[in-house]
Amino acid sequence: MTQNELKKKVAEAALQYVKDIPVIGVGTGSTVNFFIEMLADYKADIEGAVSSSIGTTERLKKVGIPVLDLNAVSDLKIYIDGADEVNPDKKLIKGGGGALTREKIIAEASEKFVCIADETKCVDVLGAFPLPIEVIPMARSFVAREMVKLGGQPVWRENFITDNGNEIIDIRNLNITNPIELEKTINNIPGVVTVGLFALRGADIVLVGKGNEVVTL
Ligand code: 5RP
């Protein structure tokens, strides 16, 4: 199967998790885009969705799913989103698409986080994929220097502004053996809005498209 076929397969497998759930959280990215297309047939059951990005909001509206403000939703049962890397403990790197801050808020606010990924995303140790960090623009160089002290190689994602009006630096060369500690350390650097490590709140379930099947972690 091609990577896109695997993405479609995991997107389809995620549908069973949103059955009979009126309000769902929806992530961002090409895997989730397949999920949103498939949701179109499910919309009778879905009252609305909390969206993690402007792009996802547009797509949800296009298939007729009302988009709800998280502030108006007190009970979010499920969040469906992709990932850039997944380790065996279901800790993730996210933010390749730049939507990490809203994604992290919704993941944390949800009872269950179902991650959908193709097998190319599975790694033993996180860090081969550059770790995205959303920063307040004036803190970009400062945060980059702090990341050098932690052994990383920061690269500014030029000409990219997040949905929140901030910038992103991508940190290469990290071998993330203790994702929870690293997430806490980076969270403590002034100017960091969000680090794309989803370890303190990882996924509850990962659906991996592998070969011809979907494996559940
Ligand atoms: C966006 C993300 C995405 O979930 C991640 O980049 C995976 O995207 P794709 O499904 O296109 O491979 O974190 O900020």
For residues 41-65, average pLDDT: 92
Ligand 1, atom 8, residue with closest C-alpha: 29
Supply the pLDDT for residue 87.
98
| Residue with tokens 């007729």, as numbered in its chain | 64
Per residue in 142-183, pLDDT (tens digit) is 999 999 999 999 999 999 999 999 999 999 999 899 999 999
Cα–Cα distance, 51 to 101 (Å, whole number): 12
Supply the pLDDT for residue 43.
67
Per residue in 11-36, pLDDT (tens digit) is 999 999 999 899 999 999 999 999 99
Q: Which of 8, 9, 30 to mutate to test the pocket of ligand 1 (most atoms within 8 A of CB)?
A: 30
Ligand 1, atom 2, residue with closest C-alpha: 95
Percent of the chain at pLDDT > 90 equals 94
Q: Quick one: CA torsion of 117, 123, 127, 128, rounded to 10 degrees?
A: -90
- Per DSSP, the residues of 34-61 read HHHHHHGGGTTT--EEEESSHHHHHHHH
Q: Is 28 in the pocket of ligand 1 (CB under 6 A)?
A: yes
Supply the pLDDT for residue 107.
98
Mean pLDDT lowest for which of 11-15, 41-45, 122-126? 41-45
Nearest ligand 1 atom, CA 100: 14
Q: Is 152 in the pocket of ligand 1 (CB under 6 A)?
A: no
Q: Is 94 in the pocket of ligand 1 (CB under 6 A)?
A: yes
CA end-to-end distance (rounded Å), the chain: 20
- Size (the chain), residues: 217
Which ranges constitute the DSSP H helices of 19-168? 30-39, 54-62, 100-109, 140-149
Residue 200, CB half-sphere, CA atoms under 13 Å: how many?
A: 14
| Residue with tokens 């929870």, as numbered in its chain | 180
3-class secondary structure, 137:
helix
